[in-house]
Amino acid sequence: MMALLQRVSCARVEVAGKVVGEIGAGLLVLLCAERGDSNMQSDKLLAKILKLRIFSDAAGKMNHSVQDMDGLGQSGGLLVVSQFTLAADAAGGNRPSFTAAAAPTEGRRLYEHFVAQARLQHPLVQTGEFAADMQVSLVNDGPVTIPLRVAPPDGSPR
């Protein structure tokens, strides 16, 4: 399972001109389930995201996680957006292949599991809409953009 994190000042997702998810300061999480992923990879990825220290302390060092932000008087939201295109493989030509992405039903199940667990562990979680044509707007803070991937249980690379 993989995610592309963007530290944001604000972000929102629209579907058909309607805002379906919106946060102030926090993390935009572009999430991709890959073939062979399970709840275990989803849970490990979420734990890493919630603890990743990429928000600045008073000295300007990246020392705080999104979970620390509440205590700092900031919103610390998560905006989770499904994005199977993170699994793109363009090595074979000019048209990317998405065969590494989980099948749509399994991708939806893992996305919904990730979101449900995030809501249990974090106070502010917003989402996009799975499999919808979405417009994502954001102000990347820093800019800070970090790719994360959780390997399958056997430890083999994808």
Q: What's the pLDDT score for residue 60? A: 92
Indicate which CATH number applies to the domain containing 116. Answer: 3.50.80.10
Summarize the confidence of residues 14-43 as an average pLDDT: 97
Within-domain flag for 93: yes
In this model, does residue 158 exceed pLDDT 60?
A: no
Asked, as a colleague might, if the bond just before 157 is cis with ω within 30 of 0, I would say no
Structure tokens that stand for 97 in this block: 């292949």
**Is 93 in a helix, a strand, or coil?**
coil
pTM score of the predicted model: 0.94
For the purposes of burial, counting CB atoms within 10 Å of the CB of 123, is it exposed (0-12), middle (13-18) or buried (19 or more)? exposed
Q: 150 lies in a domain? A: no
Dihedral-angle region of residue 36 (phi above 0 means left; psi in -120 to 50 means alpha; beta otherwise): left
Residues acting as catalytic residues: 83-85
User: Which residues constitute the domain of residue 35?
Assistant: 2-135
In the chain, how many domains are there?
1
